[in-house]
Structure 1
């Protein structure tokens, strides 16, 4: 009987070791998947603070918490089941879906750059103090949170599909666990950082009001630095959009059978790595990232040009309609074509 008990304990120990090894594998895979989605995470982190600009400071953290819950719902309830089903029964669809998302990221980055260069930046902040918001704060907040969660759906889809693409060879159960870990971990990271960023100036003001000269100087430094920090994050977010989007397009074209651009970038990265063998990995990554960002800018600029052309044609059509129907109102079509708030 004691022999049977010992054998049972051995089996339990073996199962425990196997489970621990499996958890280690899942943790490592989740880490790799999260790293692949790092560019989109940076973009997500750069975008979110704009949703609480000009909001009552007492509502900032509750709003971020509501958006974070919506983001987690997007990832776990909407995106995860669809992504797993596609990876299991239609894996061929993942590359086109990734490329659509990559095109969106390229467009966002290129449009932001075009707006800055042309001086007609159409990226109006999504949260502004208005009479309507003051009259019905709850309704305005709900509308703003809903818009933020819809925007997050696109970025979350990119994060999850990129992560899934990295662990596509894993069994479906492991894939599900890995994606759950990635979803929870990235959501905590992004919205934790955002919460810290938006409260940093308040911390600075509190420190600046203390009697200690050192605390006052550090508080004043925080208050003065935060606008610049947010501006830098916005620039990094734009670059990340172009890099991640361009890399998705680069790899997607290669996987769909069109290899010239991918081969050029691959050979350029290899040549740079051979030229600096001490930092081969870092140099290869920098070269690949540079050309991915360039491709993202060109790809996104093409989309911007197409959309601007469509808008111009549509605008001409509206001008004609306004001319034919002058009774439409004193301001004509300009009331109907007021620029809509954009998330950047």
Structure 2
């Protein structure tokens, strides 16, 4: 009896250890999606009244949890009955990351003037009495939950690719843990980010000179933090998406490894070159793949007609 109990405990410890290792790997590979998830969800509450920001974040977090309750069983079913589909899904997720990143860059480069011109109109509309605040908030939540579904699917696909060869319990544990960590971590940070300006404003009104200085610093830094998150998220999308695509193409993955090993053997700078070469190549692969994907989508839209090409 004691021997059986010890064996069971040992098996449980082994599974938990495997889950921890797989979760670390999946979290590292999901870093690009996480950065983009943070930036996008923090931007989603823009325009919401200050006293409604946290309820909106909480509503989106609950929607994200529901998304993952759908995606995790679907991922396990694919792994059990259609394991050959894991790599194509992972490649599709990587390509989508690259596409989204490239489209963001192109939009910033060629449509910034249009966005700047539209900002006063959007602000006036939000301030106007013709806007139903309840409907506006509901639309914000729905849009954020839809965005979360895409990003959550990418995270689950990356995690599934990481644990595809593991036992069922390890797969289940890793998917459950990464889903919980990503949901709590992302929306906890989003809640903190969207309330930074409130914290800075409160500190700036304190009697202490140190507190006022800290508050003013936070108020100045908050917009730059948002911009930094957006830039880091976009860059990480190319790195992670390009890495997924490169890893899925055997010859390319082998060439990257051989190139990194060859450069790593060089004297003096070899260690640095060997370490950064895979990252740089993954970034190039991500940018090229994103450009090709955006070009293909634009061609398809033009073939459908002017109305589709305008979107």
Please indicate the TM-score interval, normalised by the length of the shorter structure.
0.7 to 0.9
Partner in structure 1 of residue 290 of structure 2? 300
Q: 1:105 to 1:291 in 2, by over 3 A?
A: same
Cα-Cα RMSD: 2.7
1:143 Cα deviation (Å)?
1.9
Instruction: Indicate whether 1:227 and 2:220 are aligned.
Output: no
CA shift in 2, pair 1:264/1:9, >3 Å: closer
Q: CA shift at 1:101, angstroms?
A: 1.5
Deviation at 1:309, TM superposition (A): 3.1
Q: Which of 190, 205, 210 lines up with 1:209 in the alignment?
A: 205
Question: For residue 64 of structure 2, what is the aligned residue in structure 1?
Answer: 71
Match of 1:60 in 2: 53
The match for 2:174 among 178, 186, 209 is 178
CA distance in structure 1 between the aligned counterparts of 2:129 and 2:248, rounded to whole angstroms: 43
| 1:289 alignment partner in structure 2 | 279
In structure 1, distance between residues paired with 2:47 and 2:183: 24
Cα 1:43/1:276, change in 2 over 3 Å: farther
Q: Aligned partners of 2:85 and 2:220: how far apart in 1?
A: 48
Given the superposition, is the C-alpha separation of residues 54 and 284 from structure 1 closer, same or farther in structure 2, using an over 3 Å criterion? farther
C-alpha distance 17-303 of structure 1, shift in aligned 2 (>3 A): closer
1:276/1:283 contact within 8 Å kept: no
Counterparts of 1:47 and 1:152, CA distance in 2: 9
1:105 aligns with 2:100: no
Shift in CA distance, 182/277, structure 1 to aligned 2, threshold 3 Å? farther
CA distance in 1, matches of 2:218, 2:240: 31
Structure 1 residue aligned with 2:21: 28
Which residue does the alignment assign to 1:149? 145
Q: Once the 2 structures are TM-superposed, how far is the Cα of residue 11 of structure 1 from its aligned partner?
A: 4.1
Q: Does 1:136 align with 2:132?
A: yes
- Per the TM alignment, residue 87 of structure 1 is displaced from its structure 2 partner at its CA by 0.8
The Cα offsets for residues 178-233 of structure 1, whole Å up to 9 and x where unpaired, read as: 21111001111111111111111111111111111111111100000111111111
Contact kept, 8 Å, 1:133 with 1:139, in 2: the verdict is no
Of residues 167-176 and 22-31 in structure 1, the stretch that sits farther from structure 2 once superposed is 22-31
Deviations 1:264-323 (A, max 9, x none): 32222222333378994x75453212111111111111122223334445555x6xxxxx
1:23–1:310 Cα change, 3 Å:
closer
Per-residue deviation at 1:96? 1.1
Matched, 1:115 2:107: yes
3-state SS, counterpart of residue 87 of structure 2: helix
Cα distance in 2, alignment partners of residues 121 and 167 from structure 1? 45
What displacement does 1:14 show? 4.4
User: 1:20 offset after TM fit, Å?
Assistant: 3.0
**Number of the residue aligned with 2:264:** 273
CA–CA separation in structure 2 for the residues paired with 1:134 and 1:91: 52
Quickly say closer, same or farther: Cα 1:186–1:80, change in 2 above 3 A. same
Which structure has the bigger radius of gyration? 1
CA deviation profile, 1:110-140 (whole Å, cap 9, x unmatched): 1111222334578899xx5536886422222
Measured at CA, do residues 263 and 83 of structure 1 come closer, stay the same or move farther in structure 2, by a change above 3 Å?
same
1:12 CA displacement = 3.2
SS in 2 for 1:275: coil
Would the aligned equivalents of 1:71 and 1:149 in 2 still touch at CA under 8 Å?
A: yes
Rate the CA distance shift 1:15–1:190 in 2: closer, same or farther, 3 A: same
| Structure 2 unmatched runs, 5+ | none
2:58 and 2:267 map into 1 onto residues whose CA distance is 46
Q: Which residue of 2 aligns with 1:330?
A: none
Native 8 Å contact 1:80 1:160 kept in 2: yes
Pick closer, same or farther for the CA change 1:265–1:56 going to 2, 3 Å.
same
